[in-house]
Amino acid sequence: MSVEDRPEHAEDVIELLVGQHMLIRDLFAEVQTATGEHRAEAFARLVHLLAVHETAEEEVVHPLARRGIDGGEQVVEDRLHEEREAKEALVRLEGMDLGSEEFDAALALLRDSVLQHAHYEEAYEFRHLRGRYDQDRLETLAAQVRMAEKAAPTHPHPGNETAVKNLTVGPVLAVFDRVRDAMRGGGSQGG
Ligand SMILES: [Fe+2]
Ligand SMILES: [Fe+2]
C-alpha cells in the first residue's frame, strides 16, 4: 500500500521495502501484546512477512547493492549475516511455548535485532541505491519484488485448537525455502 498517490511517480523498491519495515515493526508489537490464538496467528503472519521480505531483498536488492554501491560487497555480507541470525532466532522461537516468558524474552531480542538490521539497510544500502540507480530502475525493481512476493505461498492460517500453544506456521526454514523457491520460479522473468 502506498502512503500517498503521486500520479507521476509509482512506488519504488526503496519505498516498498521501507514500508515493509514499518509493517514488520507493527507486527512485532502485535505479537508482543496478543495472547493465545491471536498471538499464534500474528506470529504466523510475522514469520511469513519476514520470509517474504528478507527473501525479496536477498533475491532482488542485495545483488544490486553488492555490485552497485561503494563497499557493497561488505555492506551486503553484513546484512546477509544479520538475516541468517534472524532466521536462526525464528527457528528457536518456533520451539518455544508461545505463552512463556522465554518466548517473550527471545521475541524482544529478535525484534531489536531485526529493527536494527532494517535501520542499517536503510542507512547503508537503500540510501546509496537511490543515489546509484535512476527512478525508473527503482520502480521496475519494485514491480519485480511485488511479482516475486505474489509468487510466494500465502501464510497458513492456524487451526483453532492447535494454535494456542504450538506454532502452526510449520518449520520456519521450510517457510523461507518455499518462499525462495516460489520467487526463483515466479519472479525471475523480466529484468
Ligand atoms: Fe533484510
Ligand atoms: Fe529489510
Could you say which ligand is closest to the alpha carbon of residue 21? 2
Q: What is the CATH number of the domain that holds 20?
A: 1.20.120
Torsion angles phi and psi, residue 17, rounded to 5? -70, -35
- Whole-number Å distance, alpha carbon 164 to ligand 1 midpoint, is 29
The answer to whether position 5 is within a domain reads no
Is residue 186 over pLDDT 60? no
- Whole-number Å distance, alpha carbon 29 to ligand 1 midpoint, is 18
Position 162 scores a pLDDT of 43
Position 40 scores a pLDDT of 92
Higher pLDDT among residues 165 and 126, named by residue: 126
- Whole-number Å distance, alpha carbon 86 to ligand 1 midpoint, is 9
The answer to whether position 49 is within a domain reads yes
The answer to whether position 109 is within a domain reads yes
Higher pLDDT among residues 6 and 80, named by residue: 80
The answer to whether position 1 is within a domain reads no
Cell numbers standing for residue 110 = 529478535
The answer to whether position 67 is within a domain reads yes
Position 169 scores a pLDDT of 54
Could you say which ligand is closest to the alpha carbon of residue 87? 1
Whole-angstrom distance, CA of residue 138 vs CA of residue 59? 15
Position 113 scores a pLDDT of 96
Closest CA to 32 of 101, 88, 115, 116: 101
Q: How many domains does the chain have?
A: 1
- Whole-number Å distance, alpha carbon 88 to ligand 1 midpoint, is 14
Position 163 scores a pLDDT of 40
Is residue 1 over pLDDT 60? no
What residues have a C-beta under 5 A from ligand 1, the ion? 54, 57
Domain that holds residue 114: 11-183
Position 191 scores a pLDDT of 35
**pLDDT tens digits for 97-139?**
999 999 999 999 999 999 999 999 999 999 999 989 999 999 9
- Whole-number Å distance, alpha carbon 25 to ligand 2 midpoint, is 11
The answer to whether position 159 is within a domain reads yes
Could you say which ligand is closest to the alpha carbon of residue 23? 2
- Whole-number Å distance, alpha carbon 162 to ligand 2 midpoint, is 31
The whole-angstrom distance between residue 134's C-alpha and the CA centroid of its chain comes to 24
- Whole-number Å distance, alpha carbon 110 to ligand 2 midpoint, is 14
The answer to whether position 171 is within a domain reads yes
Position 157 scores a pLDDT of 52
Percent of the chain at pLDDT exceeding 70: 83
The answer to whether position 3 is within a domain reads no
pTM of the model as a whole: 0.84
**pLDDT tens digits for 22-59?**
999 999 999 999 999 999 999 999 998 999 999 999 98
* pLDDT, averaged across the chain: 85
- Whole-number Å distance, alpha carbon 160 to ligand 1 midpoint, is 32
* Stated length of the chain: 191
Cell numbers standing for residue 58 = 536477498
CB-CB contact of 151 with 185 (8 Å): yes
Cell numbers standing for residue 127 = 540510501
